[in-house]
Amino acid sequence: MKYLEMRKGRVEIIPMIDIMLFLLVFFIMVTLQMIPTQGIPTALPGSTSTQKLPAPKLTLTLHRDGTLDLGGRSLTLAQLTSRLTGSPAGTQVTIAADKGADVQKLVRVMDACRHAGISAVGLAARPE
């Protein structure tokens, strides 16, 4: 009768290394998505009653000279309205207006958002 040879169990290290590298790449990608988008520096107005808003889907920057940026691209009000028209329900827009920006221009930007069907509009401010 032939004896069956018992083989010793081995832990294969190569598949474990593959899985660890996959997890590392996965967590790096998720972390990059959590980092806020970069923006153009503006002098935000201060407020003593600021509140933490949910993360906006879109951040508009209104500069002192009245120019409007969305994602680093300069837009007119008409372009903004057409860009926002058809946005999914619940889209949130935050306007980061320079403290020297004209209030009338800010109101026009808010009106353009409303005409596009956006009802969740917030104003960015730095806490004092």
Domain assignment present for 33: no
Structure token pair of residue 65: 């000279």
The domain tally of the chain equals 1
Each residue's pLDDT tens digit, 55-114: 557 788 888 888 888 877 888 888 888 888 887 777 888 888 888 888 888 888 888 888
> What confidence category does residue 21 fall into, taking pLDDT thresholds of 50, 70 and 90?
very high
CATH number, domain of 68, equals: 3.30.420.270
78/111 Cα distance (integer angstroms): 11
pTM metric for this prediction: 0.58
C-alpha closest to that of 72 among 116, 35, 37: 37
Indicate the average pLDDT of the chain.
79
Please give the residue range of the domain that contains residue 92.
46-127
pLDDT at 84: 84
85/65 Cα distance (integer angstroms): 25
62 touches 106 (CB < 8 A): yes
Domain assignment present for 75: yes
Domain assignment present for 21: no
Cα–Cα distances (Å) from 12 to 6, 20, 24, in that order, read 18, 13, 19
Tokens 């000279």 sit at which residue?
Answer: 65
Domain assignment present for 61: yes
